Structure 1
Amino acid sequence: MDIAIILISGIAGALLTFLLNNKFQLGGVMASAGVSVFAGGFFFFIPDLLNENLTTHIPLVVMGTSFIGMATSRVIKEVWIIGLSGLTFSIIYLLTGSFFEGYGGSLGTTAAISLIASYSISQISK
């Protein structure tokens, strides 16, 4: 069940940031920061809402997927690409565990890999 919640959080983080960035014209940085601060603050102030594993990992996954949502709708025209990228990020995050520990920018790097992979799938399918 924890895995499903993390996967859904990843998809939601990317889609919410993309929506705030493009639909509400907040800009990529403001949208990402808002989503990340909300997720981190929520679990900081209410840490007992979910188990410790989720309280630790959901803010990281949401922050990482918020980097995906920073993409502009001028380049990424289909919203499903953002959702798929959020899912891909979450899967990579779950599978790699501490692989990226010590590497600067691991959330951003994983977000870039996820978005490039999903965008490539959409371009190849055309």
Structure 2
Amino acid sequence: MKTETTDHGELETWTPQEVADGLAQGKVTLVDVRTPAEYAFESVEGALLLPMAHFDPRFLPSDGDKRVVLMCGSSVRSGKMARKTLEAGAERIAHLQDGFAGWKKAGLTHIATDMASGAPVRKTPSNG
């Protein structure tokens, strides 16, 4: 994890593997800020959706000791929303390094759309 001290608080950047491990251990709440269409096409299982177009830090979950990690496609939008969250008064927030593209590049499990049927399908490192 990389941290950056901003004028408004601590901004953390987590690697895809750190986020995957945090999800598996129940220590992370992942919030996807992409559009509903992007999320519906492919997403990280268990990620909540709070699209950037409607993003308001007041709507972020408060999970006590769980770290809230924001994600988007490349980390640009999630970085902007993380900074917005800090500006709104949060002491710290995290976002996913390289976004969903980094998640897939790391070979981590995700939900995708089967183009033949339109059904959701779990993509794992073993089934591509």
Kindly indicate which of the two structures has a greater share of residues assigned to helix: 1
User: TM-score of the superposition, structure 2-length normalised?
Assistant: 0.29
Kindly indicate which of the two structures has a greater share of residues assigned to strand: 2
Q: Which has the higher contact order (CA 8 A, sep 6+)?
A: 1
